[in-house]
Each structure stands twice: as structure tokens, then as C-alpha cells.
């Protein structure tokens, strides 16, 4: 008999939809002890909350997240609000004994993140951050290959997250859909929004970073603010690139921008090991590129693996369709929910936890500090 | 206020899942007057039906499709059973005044299809066949480009559907999941299963065919039959290729096989027109390749269009995530349900109807006859 | 001490250049017993011959091929003239005891080809036809893989040669550079010009063909003739597609056209075997695509092999630059000259000989006859 | 009547071959006032020099470069020796009034380069450095597009040059073919060898750099030295990555390594402008990727331009074969010779000159200094 996990969702934006879709679908495709129940959704605008609840099947609505957090019929709070609200909500939810699923990035910065980690660890509540790309099957396969030792010593890691949606100076900052351009709401620009994804994957696949040197740029210096109607300085980084040294001795380059004409959401990474190399690309997320030096000499080449096989060959894919039929972006969230629920059942929590995500925060802090000081920065450790 | 459309699903296999997923998701992403309600599912095994109903949220189960068809609380019957049962079920459902959504291919052959067309047209019930690939956004975009006249006169059409899953002689024929290898259940092999998809798209994009010359092959002549446990001759075509002339003067090649090592479900098509060309590939279904001769000379090249834009740029994509984030196979079914429901609301039925699908049947008949007679065959018209 | 091979070239067009370049380069890159000496070039126009000789370093010129063929200081005659002249020149050259390197296709048709084969075999002169694509390293590697048994039983072969340069109705037929559109000079259109390449490779890689069914089309029915200045019917095939059965039991599709907008010279082939598949593409001729079913399940994918390795890994590549640095189209001719010279030294003649090329001619004959009769045709054997 | 340009080549290695091939071919494909004459080749080993002269058609040999430089029958000296010898030879050649074609990088470092620039400018001799990638047609096309203003304001530049040939610790340093691993001969590792190419292209396409921050690594700390037979510390950088700011306000990342498993010579660059983006890749050097934001919305996509068109469409390609038939690596040298000879005829010297190449040297100096000091470094200007 399935056990219900009663979800209270805060925030009805893009991520609110992505998570709701995952909660609704997971039980159709995975056999799990726990099943999400869409108990309540919270938005400041009641009309928005009601419309969202109707669309997705939430049983009730709230307009004050404090009320939602206090409700006894909620087991898990899902935080999908702008970055500057994560800490307060998460801390309150932890105090209320709720499990927490928090959108990324965890926090505005490292110190704020530390407090959140302390809150959930003190409250001993299951906690997770939505770095969803770990659960794209091709990325999970990459993790498996690394854990199986197929790469050998790693020499290089490189990652990019390129977009082009903010090139127009007419685009305002702030408000619904555009809070990512408002430094007060977002904390940073591409660093916290896009590089955070690259960093989370990198830490997962390649271990901790030692130090970084970075540069950032804000190409358009001022934009109209949607909320005030006035032109205001832009406080976020439009672009950020950094060099890094990992503790395993490998060298890395990272870059993100929203000014790379022609790229919508091109998150790519590549890892070069002594024995093999791996590459992946969000624009064709169902494929993994793999080069194996142990292949016979004349037949060596990058393999384009269509990660859609069954029979346990490819992570998660047994749950979906038949070989050759690709899944998409949204499925990474379904997988993350499935793993979270599995973690509840087994007692082996699914990552990334708040503490895991704090490490990403520390890298972001070092990157932004390096860009400001124009000097190499050591990365703090988030390990206990 | 949304109007319910009460679905009765017959068959719990791969397609039963794909359709159920579409019914469940469509209202989360599309604003429609009608909303599917999962009323009943039917399978010969009660245990299967009950498990499926639980998994997908069907309200009730049946084990005899005649009962389901007779139920007053069912508006639409969805036929997901093997090909040899389509005609009988559809005819009965039409008589019972039900709308019908029938899996492809429509029928075992043209004559059987004619009877089905007559039945639904006499009963005046909305009817549709699940040639889902029309609703992959990249394919729908191809249709738009053709209707806008961008290709000019068409010279060539070529399509392939290549798989490799039946190469092993150990694979049995018949029974759950393998009825596609049993000629009695499937009617034909790759012709009705895979080429039917290619043909449906081709007729939609390029108009009617005039004549064909074909060859078929059965590489493995006998396989154990799952139901009888005995080795029996294989009656299906393992591979089929044909040349065709379209009524618009263009020349075409079609090929399908389940013996193309390395291809899981590689459905591709390409159209060469006087002014532009288009190509598409199911293994990366979110992309359309486009070559425009009107581009400046030195800058001409095949464009790889990542069909994920918003603002009405790319069909259906406004409903999903943000630019750059791809959707997958299952979404084509969601789109087809959305269009079907839209058709009910507007009175302008979504295709392909049974009559549309009959034309594909006629092409298949001509292909199989040509392979047998080793002579060109005219294709019958399905037009009224 | 190198032995000279004194070349007499007939024809100063595109192929005259390609061959001359090969003769000039081969000794710079290959260590061979024989070295080509550019003795004489022949063209009807003396001015053209003189200019060409100066450009390429030929020692002398002729304006009558009969004179060239009769010269004692010529060891080998290279025929680069339009197709309708091959037979007469080759027969005369054979009688004169010259080695012959003849441009493809060998002849206007099979019967003419038979006479040429008889002539060279009677005269016992080394002979070769310039089906140069066999010597693209990636194609040669494909041949190696097949001979090593890596594909296992072959199920499918498919080849295309797509161009788009004759779409304009303003293009005239006949005359320099355009004789390929004049049926009297060319014999056929894409069949002899482009499909002949596809057929030669296919026969080499996959053995003999049993039978074919074909269709051809001439999209533009009349064009101005350059020589007469008058509009005349177009006698060539603009497009040709055919199905074939090989003697090894595999099924094949072939297609060629000059009306495939967006493709300049897209010759592609793919072979699907039980154990592995191979694909190649002239637009990126330095790569071979390879899929090996014996790769570990989760890591199976098409490998893109950059055929530029040294140490004997990749055919011919030791002679050129360093790994990763690609060669191009012209190098296939250099390799063919090298192999021809090697064949002289070892007494093991390099293919394709006239007899090998006759088999391609027979396939072309069957294809054109099938297109005319709309019936399957058996392919004659060219074996002795 | 063609004017001879009498070449004296110093060094018979990989580059000696590449240049000799270019000198031999250029007049077959280009109509030029000047024609190279292969007058003399110089190597320390007489046997090597003689063999090379025979292979390539040099009229005479020298074993002391000073003698070659002093010869009256030499117009131009081509320097293909290890980096540590460039300055001395070039200075002597300038003093002797010879034109100089010098392999890249120009010098061991900036100060040495300054002296060389002074020498050639004082002597007023034509001078050029072999940064051959500027003359790959796709790269030249990129330059044209930028000069035509198609990119608009540039936001980003990124380049990589990845190889994998030094991963084995068994590989020795020093000696023929391996002097690139010996810091005394090479000056630096990937920085001067590979990044120098990336930098030259970048300065040409995107203007001057302002400042850089870099890191380098030597993965294998000691290798046997071929000349001494003893294990010695490795002084070169195996890998180098740097961030840069260009004077036009754009941000850049550069990376090079010989430890990127799976990449033979993967030089790639990408430029993102406000209106368009460009990307190129040495492994498929005949293609240019181009994204034009001014394309119609729904049809925007990266175009893969096969840079093989005629009629003046694509740089240099009129000289070669027909559209669709690719050229390779070696042709970039032929183009460079052609442009050098053209420059002599027109008096408008072809770049990069020694002074142009000095700017690359200054970037390398800043990069290596930054890696050592772990601080941002300004780049010196090479402008007069």
C-alpha cells in the first residue's frame, strides 16, 4: 500500500510547473513505496494560486507561505520562489519539521547557506536541492562510468552554460519571470543561475575544487526595473568565466553567459581522463559522447550513445518507452522525485542535500570574490 | 467550465501507457474546453487491467471490450490492441455511437479499412488514428514550411525507419510485446508497423502517391511461437523497401527494416524542393534541418533548428518549458490529444481521420502486392 | 633508382587536372619503384593543350589523340575525355601496347565495355578505371573491416549521390564542362556519372548484384544546346533510384539526382551487418562512422572515426601529415596512382581493372533497362 | 612571363614537407606573377638533406644554414627549424637581404621577437610567419564576415587546441620530432606550439588583447631526454588555460593541452556577436558554423556551411575542384604561399608579418607570466 507524501508547493512559476509535473507523473512510471499528494500550493496572488491549483490538481491554496509551512497536513515543503527567499522559508520549514525540497541555488551566498544547512541538520529533516541535471540519464551514466574507473586519472574538466536571451537592452529587470536579472532577488547573475548547475555537476563527477580565478562582466549597465518603472543599474553578472584547479589535480575551465548569440540553453561538459573521455550537451540531452582509448587503434572514435536502452543498460530508461525514443528536460525532475521518495523508503537520502549544495555555494562565492579582487581564491569546504 | 471527455481504453501495452500519459498531462499544459477523464480500461486479464487502472488512475476496469463499448459513461473508445482486432472493435464502437481513437495502422489491409471508414462515417462519430509523429513540433514545423510554399516544386522525398531489435534468431514470435512478429496479429511486418508511419507523414507533407515498386524480405524464416511453444514459419516482412512516384511529380524512396544494426528507431525523412530542403530524424526529434537556397550564396548551409522556441515561433512549444529545453517522444501524443479535443470544440476535426489513414493502408497494400508480383502497382485513392 | 612511367594525358578538363596533380605529387609522398613523368598532354585546341602543359609541367602537347597513342615515348595513356570517346581511344591504345588509365564510367554501355575489356586483355596491358573513391582512406578502411569479417552477414546496403547543380532551366547542355548533360556525349545522366561511383564501391564492398528495379526521371525536358545554340530535348536521366538484391542475400537501395537542393556532392553509403554497421559521407570524407554490437551494452554508439592516424592504423595516412590533420578529395587520386605504380612493381594489378568496371556497366545497363521497362532486371556478370 | 622566387629551405621536418608541397603546388592552381623555385634545402645531416632534395626536387643542398643564407641564388629563406634557432637565422637572413618566411612561433619570447622585427624592418625585406590557419577557407570566410560587420558588437571569443599525444610517460623529450617537449628547443609547451595558433587567429579576427589570467600544468614531471639518454625534468607546460579581455570589450577563454584523450588536433574557435555567431573546428576544417539572428525567427539555427563553393563565394575555392569536394590541411599552406607571392607582385605584403606575430608573442609572454605569478597581466602592444 502506497504511503502518501503530502506536498506543499511555494511558488507558481516555471519551476513550480516543472516540479508539479514531476509529482504527478512519478507514480505512473516508477513503482515506489511513497506517492506524492498535491496538498497545497502557495502564491502571494490568490488568483494565481487558485488557477495553478486547478491546473495541476492541488487540493488547496495558501497566499502566505508561513501558513503553508505551519499546516499539519503537509509533509514536505517545496520552495520554488526567488533566491532571496529560500533561507527564510527553509529555516522556518525545518523548524516546523517539514522535509524540504529547495530550488537551486540553495542560497544567496555561503554564509546564508550555512545557516540553512544547520537548520535542516538540526531538525533532522530530509532535504534536497533541485540540481536536476544529475538525473538526466546521460549525465547519470557519466557518473556511473567515472565510478567504475573508466576514465582513469582525470586531467581536464570543462563546462559551459550559454544562453542569449538578455542581449536586448529593452529587456527590463525584476518582476515575474525577470527576477533573475534583479540582483536583490537573484543574488548574482549567471553565476548563481547557470554556473551553479555546472558546478554542482562538476563537484559530483570530479570531486572538490581547490581554487579559482574568475572574471565577470555586465554588458548592459542599466535596465528599466519592472517593479519601480525606473531605469536602474544592473547589479548582476551577465557573463562569468573562471579557471579552476580540482583537488584531484585536474584543471578546469567554466564559462557562462546570456550573450552567446545562437545558444538557447547550451549546457555542455567534457571530462578528459587518461583512459577515456566523456562529453554531454543539454541541447541533445539524450546522448552521451564517449571516447575509449582501450578501443582497438584503428577503430577509435567518439561514440554517440543514444541513452535510451532498456534492460538496465541506461539509468532510468526502463521506466519510459522503448529504445530509440527520447525523453526530455522534464524527466530529470521526475527522476529526482523518484530518487527522493526512494531515499525516504530506504533511509539513504538522495543528493544533492543542502550540505552538498552548500559546496556549490562556496565555489560561487570564491568565483565572485575572485572576479572582484582579480586574484585567485581558495574554495571553502562544505564537508562536516 | 471544462467539459469532460470520458475515455475507455482497450489494451494495456506500450501504447496504452503512451495514450494514458497523454490524457493525464494534456490539461496541465493546454487550456482546452474538453478534459479527458480516465473512465475505464479494458484488458483480457483482470489483474492486468486492475494494476493498470491503479497505476494510471482509471476509475474502473473491464475484461470484455464489448462491455466497455456498451457503457453509457464512455464518450470515446481508444483502441490499443493488436492490429487484427481494430476493425471489429471500431465497428462496434461506431455503432454504439462512440468517438474512436484507434492505434495505427488502421486495419489489416485496405478492404478492412474501407469497412471501418464506412462505419465511422455512417455513425458520424469523431475518429482519429494515432499517427503521432505528425505532432512532433519539428514535423509540424515542416508541414507549415511546405504550406507556406517555401520548398517550391518538390523533386524528391525519401524516408527510412530503421531498427535492429529482431536480429537474434532466438527471439520468439507472438504473445505480449511480440505480437508484431506474428503475421496473424500484425497483418504485416515493418510495412504496417514502421513504413505506415513514414507513409502517413509523406502523404500529409507531399500529397498522394501514384504508384510503387517494392521488395520485401524475411531474413529469419522461422521462429518459436510464444503461444504454441512451437517453431513456426515467420509470416511477416522483416524488411521492405520501395520506390514511389507521387502525384505532384516527385520521386521517392522508402525503406524499413528491423535488421539495421546500430539503429534503435531511426525514422528519418528528407524533402528536396526547388527552393529549399527539409530533413528530420526521430533520434533527435527536437531538431529540424533546413536548407534555404534563398540564403545569401556564401552563407548557405543546412540549418539545425532546435525546435524549442516560444512566442508562437515553434508549434506547441509555448506550452512547455523555455527555449533550449527539449521535449521527447511522449509529447507527440499529448499534442494529438490536445488537437483532438480542440477539434471537438471547434467542429474542425483533427487528422488523421480513419479516411486519412485508409490512404496509408492503400499504399501498404500496393507495396506488399508489388513485392509479391515484382511489378509496379498503382495506389488506390481513399478520397471520397 | 626510380623507373619512369611516361604519361600521355588526353583531355584537359576537371579530371585532367585531378590526375595531373596526382602524378605530380605521388613521388613526394610515396616511396615507389616507378615515378610518373608528364610526357605529353593532348587536347583538340592547341592553345588549351599548351596552357595546360605549362601549368602542369607536361613536356609536349598533341592535338590528335591518335598521335599521342602512337608515340613511342609514352608508356601509359590516361583517358580524361567524355564518355563517348573512351572506347575508341582505349581500343587504339591497347593495340598500341600502352597501359591505360581510363576515367569512369568505362564506356557508354555494357557491350561497348566488353569490347574494351577484350582489347586490353588481348593486349595484356595494365589497365585501370578511375573509380577514385575506393582510395579515400575511410572507404579503404571500410573495405578492411569487411574483409576482417567484422560485419558478419550483411542485411542492408544503401547508397546515395545527391547534387543540386542542374536545377536551373537556364543551364544549357553540351560543350565544355556541360557535356555531362548531353546524352550523346555522356550516355546517361546521373546513372553513369554518379551512381556508377556508388555501384563500383558497392560491388567492391558487398559483392555482385543479382537484380534491380529502377525508376528515372528527367525533370527539365529541354535545354539549349551549347554547341548548336538551339533548344533540344534532354536525353539524360536527371534522377535515378533503384532497389537491388545482392548475391549475398542483402537488400539495397540506391539513389542519385542533381535536384537535391542543399547537397553539393553528397555521396553516402551505409552497410548493416549482423555484428556491425558502417557509414560514410563524401562531404566529410575523412571520417568513418562505425557501430559495433560487440561493444559493451551501455556503451554502444556510432563511433565517428577521424581517419587520420599513423603507425599503420589508417590506410595511406602514414604518408601525409600528423593525426588530426585531414586530407581531401584530391588525395584519393594520388593513392590510386600510388597503387597503380605499386601494381606495376609487384605484378599484382591494382583495381578496378576494365573488367571490374565492366560489372558496374552491367548494373547501369540493368538499371536503365528496368526504368524503361518498369520491370525487374537481372544483372549480367562480368566475371571471366 | 613568370618571375622565379628562389627558395632556400632550412629544416627537413614536418614543416619542411608542408612548405615544400605548397611551393610545388601553388603554380598549378594559382595564376601568379611569381613562381617558387626550389633552389636549396639545408639540414645538418647531409644524407637527410640529399634525400629530402631528391624527394621534393630541390636543386642543391647545404648543411650549414649560414652558407645557404649567404648564397646569391637564394631570394627567400624559409625557416623550419626548432624555435630556439629562429632569431639567429632570421637576423642573419635579414642582414643578407633575403626575404624570410619563418615557422611559428616567431621566437622564444617577446624580447627575442622584437630584435627579429627590428632586423627585418631595418633590412626592408618581405617577411611572413607561417600561421597557416588564417588561410583555411572557412577561417578566411569568418574574417570576411567579421569585416562585413555581420557579427555586430562582439561579446565572447573562445578557443581551444586539444591533443592527446603526450599522455604516455614513456614518451621521451628532445630530438627529432620530439623537440617540442624540450623546453630549451621549444621555449614553452602548448603555449607556444598550440595556443600561439589560437592567439594569432584571435588577434586577426577580434583585435588586440588587454589582459590575461592563466594557469599552466606539467602533468608528467620528468621524461627521458633523447639526446642525453637521461631522465630529466620536463620544462614545458603540458596544458595551459587562460581568461582574457580584448580591447573591444569582449571576454575570452583559451585552453590548450596535450592530455585531452580523444582529440588529435582539435583546434576550435567560436565568436558570439550581437547579431551573429561563428564557430569552426580543425577536425572538419572545410565547414563553418554560422548563426544569424536576422534569420526569420522560427527558422533560426546554426548553419553548417560546406565551404567549397565556386564563383567567388568561398575564399580560394575557385582554384580547386568542384563544389562539395573538400580540401585539407595542406592547402592552407598553398594559400599562404599564393598570398605571399601576390603580396610581392602588388607590394601589399601578406600577413602575418613578423610584427603581427610579435603581438602573439607578447600574449604568450603575459600568459606564462600570469601562470607563474598567479596574477592578471597586461599584454604589451606590438604596434609601431
Residues B262 and B341 placed together within one structural domain of the fold:
yes
CATH of the domain at D19: 3.40.50.720
Question: Is C25's Cβ below 8 Å from some Cβ in D?
Answer: yes
Please indicate, yes or no, if residue C324 is contained in any of the structural domains: yes
Domain end position, chosen among A109, A132, A155: A132
**pLDDT given for residue D169 in this prediction:** 95
Q: By CB neighbour count within 10 A (0-12 exposed, 13-18 middle, 19+ buried), where does B186 fall? A: buried
Mean of pLDDT values over C172-182: 89
Confidence of residue D176 (pLDDT cuts 50, 70, 90): confident
| Residue C347 domain-assigned (yes or no) | yes
Of A298, A313, A314, the CB nearest to C309: A298
Q: Do C299 and A290 touch (CB under 8 A)?
A: yes
Q: Which residues contact C72 (CB under 8 A, 6 or more apart)?
A: none
Nearest C-alpha neighbor of D281 from the set C326, A47, C101, A91 = C326
- For residue C283, give the nearest of D56, D324, D331 by CB distance: D324
Residue with cell 611572413: D128
Within a domain: A49 = yes
C-chain CB neighbours of B257 within 8 Å are: 155-156, 251, 272
The pLDDT score that the predictor gives to residue D234 is 96
Q: Residues of A with CB below 8 A from B286's CB?
A: 326, 328
Residue A106 lies in a domain: yes
Tens-place pLDDT, residues A329-370 = 999 999 999 999 999 999 999 999 999 999 999 999 999 999
- Interface probe for D, chosen from B287, B288, B297, B299 (most Cβ of D below 10 Å), is B299
Distance from chain centroid for Cα B186:
15
- CA nearest A333: which of A147, A159, A128? A128
Residues of C in contact with D321 (CB under 8 A): 14, 18, 329-330
**Which of B86, B117, B132 is at the close of a domain?**
B132
* Among candidates D217, D245, D375 on the partner chain, residue whose Cβ is nearest the Cβ of A215: D245
Q: How far apart are CA C87 and CA C13, in angstroms?
A: 18
Q: What is the pLDDT of residue C353?
A: 98
Residue of D nearest to A242 (CA): D243
Q: What is the pLDDT of residues D2-47, one digit of tens each?
A: 899 999 999 999 999 999 999 999 999 999 999 999 999 999 999 9
Judge whether A382 lies within some domain.
no
pLDDT of C312 over the 90 cut: no
Host domain of residue A117? 3-132
C177: pLDDT confidence band, cut at 50, 70 and 90?
Answer: confident
Q: Which pLDDT score, from 0 to 100, does residue B376 have?
A: 98
Residue A101, strand partner residues: A78, A128
Q: B172 with B117, same domain?
A: no
| Ordered DSSP codes for A201-256 | HHHHHH--EEEEEEEEE-SS-EEEBTTT-SEEE--S-SEEEEEEEETTS-EEEEEE
CATH for B179: 3.30.360.10
Whether residues C212 and C67 fall in one domain: no
One domain for residues C117 and C229? no
- Whether residue A198 sits in one domain with residue A87: no
Chains with 3 or more CB pairs under 8 A to chain A: B, C, D
By Cβ distance, the residue of B290, B298, B300 closest to D301 is B290
D60-108, pLDDT tens digit by residue? 999 999 999 999 999 999 999 999 999 999 999 999 999 999 999 999 9
Same domain membership, residue B318 and residue B175:
yes
Residue C363 lies in a domain: yes
Shared-domain flag, residues B216 and B351? yes
C276 and C289 fall within a common domain: yes
A128/A354 Cα distance (integer angstroms): 6
For residue D346, the model assigns a pLDDT of 95
- Among chain D residues, CA nearest to B278: D299
Ranges of beta strands (E only) in chain B are: 3-10, 34-42, 60-62, 76-79, 99-102, 127-129, 154-162, 209-217, 222-224, 231-233, 239-246, 251-257, 266-273, 276-281, 287-292, 302-306, 377-378
Q: Are A288 and A308 in contact (CB under 8 A)?
A: no
CB A145 within 8 A of CB A280: no
**Is the per-residue pLDDT at C176 higher than 90?**
no
Chain C residues in contact with D320 (beta carbon < 8 A):
330
Q: Let me know if residue A384 belongs to a domain.
A: no
CB-CB under 8 Å, D18 with C326: no
- pLDDT of residue C25 exceeding 80, the answer is yes
Stretch A274-286: mean pLDDT, rounded?
A: 98
Q: Do residues D337 and D23 lie in contact, with contact meaning Cβ atoms separated by under 8 Å?
A: yes
Residue D177 pLDDT greater than 80, yes or no: no
Smallest Cα–Cα separation from A258: which of A189, A341, A337? Answer: A189
pLDDT digits (tens, 9 = 90+) for C36-82: 999 999 999 999 999 999 999 999 999 999 999 999 999 999 999 99
Q: Do residue D261 and residue A155 have CB atoms under 8 angstroms apart?
A: yes
Domain's final residue, options A115, A132, A149:
A132
> Rounded to whole angstroms, what are the CA distances from D288 to D136, D146, D276, D309, D313?
10, 13, 13, 12, 13
The residue ranges of DSSP E strands in chain D, in sequence order, are 3-10, 34-42, 60-62, 76-79, 99-102, 127-129, 154-162, 209-217, 222-224, 231-233, 239-246, 251-257, 266-273, 276-281, 287-292, 302-306, 377-378
Residue whose C-alpha cell is 537484380: C211
The model's pLDDT over D253-303, given as tens digits with 9 standing for 90+, comes to 999 999 999 999 999 999 999 999 999 999 999 999 999 999 999 999 999
Is pLDDT of A176 > 80?
no
C322 at interface of D, judged by CB pairs closer than 8 A: yes
Instruction: Give me the average pLDDT of each 10-residue run along chain B (384 residues).
Output: 93 96 98 97 97 98 98 98 97 98 98 98 98 98 98 98 96 88 94 98 98 98 93 96 98 98 98 98 98 97 97 93 97 98 96 98 98 98 91
Chain A from 194 to 213: CB within 8 A of any D CB? 213
Instruction: State what percent of residues in chain A have pLDDT above 70.
Output: 100
Chain A contact present for C328, CB below 8 A: no
pLDDT at B1: 63
Residues C67 and C20 in one domain: yes
C167–chain B nearest CA distance, Å: 7
Whether the pLDDT of residue D366 is over 70: the answer is yes
User: Do A277 and A173 sit in the same domain of this protein?
Assistant: yes
* Pair (B36, B74) in one structural domain: yes
Residues 335-364 of A with CB under 8 A from C: none
Neighbour-count burial of B147, counting CB atoms closer than 10 A to its CB (0-12 exposed, 13-18 middle, 19+ buried): exposed
Residue B171 touches partner C, C-beta closer than 8 Å: no
Give the distance from residue C160's alpha carbon to the nearest chain D alpha carbon, in angstroms. Answer: 14
Q: Does B158 touch chain C (CB under 8 A)?
A: yes
| Total domain count, chain A | 2
Parallel, antiparallel, or unpaired for β A302-306 and C239-246?
unpaired
- Write down the pLDDT at residue C175: 80
User: Do residues B367 and B214 make contact, with C-beta atoms less than 8 angstroms apart?
Assistant: yes
Which of A158, A141, A228 is CA-nearest to residue A198? A158
pLDDT level of residue A1 (50, 70, 90 thresholds):
low
From B308's Cα to the closest Cα of chain C, the distance in A is: 24
Task: Give B63's DSSP letter.
Answer: S
Q: Which residues on chain A are in Cβ contact (under 8 Å) with B325?
A: 265, 282, 328-329
Contact A243 D239 (CB under 8 A): no
- Cβ-Cβ contacts under 8 Å, A324 against chain C: none
Cβ–Cβ gap C301/A306 under 8 Å: yes
Instruction: Identify whether C383 is part of a domain.
Output: no
- pLDDT-derived band of residue C1, with 50, 70 and 90 as boundaries? low
Determine the pLDDT at residue D92: 98
B314·D298 Cβ contact <8 A: yes
Chain A residue nearest residue B14, CA to CA: A321
Contact list, A218 vs chain D (CB under 8 Å):
none
> Which tens digits make up the pLDDT trace of C260-282?
999 999 999 999 999 999 999 99
pLDDT (tens digit per residue) in C105-139: 999 999 999 999 999 999 999 999 999 999 999 99
Would you call B156 an interface residue with chain C, using a CB distance cutoff of 8 Å? yes
Rg (alpha carbons) of chain B, rounded to whole number: 21
Q: Does C159 touch chain D (CB under 8 A)?
A: no
Chain C residues touching D283 at Cβ < 8 A? 306, 324, 326
Q: Give the mean model confidence (pLDDT) for residues C180-192.
A: 95
* C302–B243 C-beta distance less than 8 A: no
Mutate to test the interface with B, among C155, C198, C297, C373 (most CBs of B within 10 A): C155
Residue D138 phi/psi, 5-degree rounding, is -65, -35
- D92–C contact, CB cutoff 8 A: no
Helical axes D14-29 vs D331-346, angle rounded to 10°: 60
Distances (CA, A) of D279 to C54, C178, C355, D143, D150: 40, 36, 47, 12, 14
Cell output for B339: 488537437
Cis peptide bond prior to D105, omega within 30° of 0: yes
Per-residue pLDDT tens for A306-340? 999 987 899 999 999 999 999 999 999 999 999 99
Q: What percentage of chain C exceeds 90 in pLDDT?
A: 96
Mean pLDDT confidence for D152-181: 94
Residue D252 and residue D277 share a domain = yes
CB contact under 8 A, A323 and B265: yes
Exposed/middle/buried for residue B351 (C-beta within 10 Å: 0-12, 13-18, 19+) = middle
Q: By CB neighbour count within 10 A (0-12 exposed, 13-18 middle, 19+ buried), where does B170 fall?
A: exposed
The complex's ipTM works out to 0.97
Q: Grade residue C9 by pLDDT with cuts at 50, 70 and 90.
A: very high
Q: Which residue of D has its CA nearest to B313?
A: D298
Amino acid at each position: 500500500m502506497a504511503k502518501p507524501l503530502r506536498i506543499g508547493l511555494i511558488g507558481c512559476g516555471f519551476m513550480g510547473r516543472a516540479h508539479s509535473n514531476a509529482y504527478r507523473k512519478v507514480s505512473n512510471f516508477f513503482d515506489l513505496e511513497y506517492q506524492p499528494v498535491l496538498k497545497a500550493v502557495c502564491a502571494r496572488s490568490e488568483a494565481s494560486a487558485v488557477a495553478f491549483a486547478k491546473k495541476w490538481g492541488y487540493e488547496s491554496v495558501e497566499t502566505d507561505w508561513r501558513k503553508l509551512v505551519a499546516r499539519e497536513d503537509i509533509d514536505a515543503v517545496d520552495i520554488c520562489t526567488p533566491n532571496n527567499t529560500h533561507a527564510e522559508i527553509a529555516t522556518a520549514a525545518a523548524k516546523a519539521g517539514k522535509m524540504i525540497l529547495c530550488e537551486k541555488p540553495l542560497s544567496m551566498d555561503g554564509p546564508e547557506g550555512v545557516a540553512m544547512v544547520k537548520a535542516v541538520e538540526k531538525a533532522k529533516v530530509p532535504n534536497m536541492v533541485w540540481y536536476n541535471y544529475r538525473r538526466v540519464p546521460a549525465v547519470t551514466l557519466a557518473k556511473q562510468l567515472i565510478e567504475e574507473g573508466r576514465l582513469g586519472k582525470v586531467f581536464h574538466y570543462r563546462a559551459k552554460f550559454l544562453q542569449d536571451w538578455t542581449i536586448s537592452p529593452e529587456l527590463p529587470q525584476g518582476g515575474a519571470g525577470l527576477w533573475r536579472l534583479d540582483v536583490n532577488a537573484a543574488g548574482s547573475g549567471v553565476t548563481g543561475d547557470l554556473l551553479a548547475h555546472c558546478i554542482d555537476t562538476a563537484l559530483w563527477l570530479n570531486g572538490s575544487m581547490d581554487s579559482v580565478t574568475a572574471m565577470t562582466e555586465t554588458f548592459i549597465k542599466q535596465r528599466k526595473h519592472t517593479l519601480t518603472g525606473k531605469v536602474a543599474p544592473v547589479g548582476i553578472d551577465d557573463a562569468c568565466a573562471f579557471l579552476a584547479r580540482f583537488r584531484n589535480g585536474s584543471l578546469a575551465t567554466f564559462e557562462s553567459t546570456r550573450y552567446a548569440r545562437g545558444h538557447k540553453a547550451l549546457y555542455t561538459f567534457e571530462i578528459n581522463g587518461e583512459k577515456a573521455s566523456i562529453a554531454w550537451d543539454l541541447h541533445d540531452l539524450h546522448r552521451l559522447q564517449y571516447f575509449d582509448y582501450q578501443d582497438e587503434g584503428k577503430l577509435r572514435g567518439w561514440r554517440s550513445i543514444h541513452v535510451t536502452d532498456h534492460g538496465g543498460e541506461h539509468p532510468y530508461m526502463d521506466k519510459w518507452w522503448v529504445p530509440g525514443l527520447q525523453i526530455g528536460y522534464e524527466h530529470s525532475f521526475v527522476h529526482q522525485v523518484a530518487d527522493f521518495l526512494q531515499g525516504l523508503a530506504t533511509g539513504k537520502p538522495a543528493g544533492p542535500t543542502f550540505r552538498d549544495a552548500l559546496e556549490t555555494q562556496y565555489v560561487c562565492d570564491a568565483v565572485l570574490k575572485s572576479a572582484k579582487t582579480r586574484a585567485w581564491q581558495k574554495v571553502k569546504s562544505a564537508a562536516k
